[in-house]
Amino acid sequence: MRDGSLTAPAIRLLAVGCLFALLALLSPRLALVFAAIFSDILSRAYDSFIIPLLGFFLLPWTTLVYALAYDANPKHLTTFEWLLVAVAFVLDLGSYGFGQRMRGRD
């Protein structure tokens, strides 16, 4: 490991991280389901299951990004991490606004 090469478990971990990121880009709700089933990221970030459940239906990007930011630094979120949560919130609001706009065209 000192020579800069990665071990087999480290390579698998990187591949899983990339797979999770790709999954999150395709569907944040699907990524939330996989995170709830296969990891404890949501249980570390949220005290109960109510907030992630509401986030699944109302603000999936915000719920996912907050959980990932909290997992990166559980003691407190930095300004940059809060900025990422804010961007996710704007994406969630934009998806609702875009849906309303598309329905209005008919």
Q: pLDDT (tens digit, 9 = 90+) per residue, 77-86?
A: 999 999 999 9
Contact 8, 35 (CB under 8 A): no
Higher pLDDT, 11 or 26: 26
CB-based burial, 40-78: b 16+ in 10 Å, e otherwise: ebbeebbeeeebbeebbeebbbbbbbbbbbbeeeeeebe
pTM of this structure = 0.74
Residue 13's pLDDT is 44
Confidence class for position 19, pLDDT limits 50, 70, 90: low
76: pLDDT strictly greater than 50: yes
Residue 5's pLDDT is 60
56: pLDDT strictly greater than 90: yes
